[in-house]
Amino acid sequence: MNQISLNEVLKQFDIYLNAASYGNGHINDTYCVDGPQYILQRINTSIFHNPDELMSNIENVTSFLRKKIIAAGGNPDRETLTVIRTNDGENYYKIDDRNVFRVYKFISHTKTIENDKTLDDLYQAGKGFGNFQKLLDDFPVEMLYETIKDFHHTPKRVEALKEAIRENKAGRADSVKEEITFALENASWADTVIKGIENGEIPVRVTHNDTKINNILFDQVTGEAVCVIDLDTVMPGSMLYDFGDALRMGGSTAAEDETDLDKVWFDVAAYEHFAKGYLSEMKDYLTPAELKLLPFSVKLLTYECGIRFLTDYLNGDTYFKIHREHHNLDRARNQFKLVADIAKKEQELADIVK
């Protein structure tokens, strides 16, 4: 990685071990430090502009969780992230604006699930994300900074897509007319959750906002959800974002970037298992408006992610990490296929919640 020595960075945290690339995140650069003992991350500062606010959110949320986990007789080093401080007592180390690093304790004897998930994994994921939200129910939401402004403001995501079409920076707009038409034809329901929040029907809660299934660690032996990770986007929001986003990936029969769209379907049984796990933790906290919108939230968050991928493709792939040409377009097509399938199954999903 450009002139920066990871060993030099780790020294700032009083760590004298080697590190190697790790994980499948789309945003930060993640390294596993020998042992494995630590996770070292270079924070993506072109996305997260204010590391002070970002790390303040993470420290406040994890220390709040830590107390609750201890009170419940759990293991706080395993059930939440632990931020390691630098020799100067800071929660991150900055070399320059593009090289900002943090270190967490590595949570061992766990696994992440990318695509091969069982129904029991989905139940556990639902329980894990539900428990995370439940534990944070009395966290003072006004303390949290908005680390990415309007992150799940779907109508603004539609506006960003329209701007990308107008600007056509990468000269790709003509080649994706079909995808653009799908995105714009479906924009009519994009404001449902935002409107509900604005008119007070949907409560603002502490939400994770990036609940894909690889953002939760599972116990290697029991398969139980151990720890919710990737806390960069913990912000005030709606639980519908977390529920919908988790099933966007967890409910698909294929990977997010599968190009054979005949393999991409929404799995109703996956929904049922995730919802069972989630509601086992959260059912007493949810309002009727939230419960009613659970199936819709999956369609909304899948649509939103699809238009984000398409926007990034039109902008020349500047946001999400890509690993091949047209990767963002493949992801967008995949998400839109899923949206169409979820739309057909919405009533079936609603019956399950009932």
- Within residues 213-272, the interface with ligand GN1 by CB under 6 A covers 215, 230, 232-233, 256
- Neighbouring CB atoms inside 10 A of 88's CB total 7
Query: Computed from CA positions of residues 323, 328, 333, 339, in that sequence, does the dihedral angle turn out positive or negative?
Result: positive
Report if residue 215 touches Mg ion, rule: CB under 5 A.
yes
| Residue 259 interacts with, from ligand ADP, ligand GN1, Mg ion, none (CB under 5-8 Å by kind) | none
Residues 7-36 that bind ligand GN1 (CB under 6 A): 25-27
**Helix axis angle, 239-250 to 294-315, nearest 10°:** 70
For residues 41 and 186, which CB has a smaller minimum distance to ligand GN1 in the complex?
41
Spatial distance between the Cα atoms of 351 and 354, rounded to a whole number of angstroms: 5
Distances (CA, A) of 10 to 30, 102, 230, 268: 13, 9, 20, 45
User: Given the complex with ligand GN1, which of 231 and 275 has the nearer CB atom?
Assistant: 231
Burial class (CB in 10 A: 0-12, 13-18, 19+), 140: exposed
Residue 335 in the binding site for ligand GN1 (CB under 6 A) = no
Least CB distance from residue 268 to ligand GN1, whole Å? 22
Residue 233 contact, options ligand GN1, Mg ion, ligand ADP, none, Cβ 5-8 Å cut-off depending on partner type: ligand GN1
Q: Is the dihedral of CA 68, 73, 77, 79 positive or negative?
A: negative
What would the two tokens of residue 56 be?
Answer: 């303040």
Nearer to ligand GN1, 15 or 305 (CB): 305
Is position 305 an interface residue for ligand GN1 (rule: CB under 6 A)?
Answer: yes
C-alpha–C-alpha distance, residues 243 and 274, integer Å: 9
Stretch that binds Mg ion, among 17-25, 91-99, 175-183, 293-301 (CB under 5 A): 17-25
| Contact set with ligand ADP (CB under 6 A) | 22-28, 30, 39, 81, 104, 106-107, 112, 214-215, 217, 229-230, 232
Residues of this chain that interact with ligand GN1 (CB under 6 A) are 25-27, 47, 210, 212, 215, 230, 232-233, 256, 305
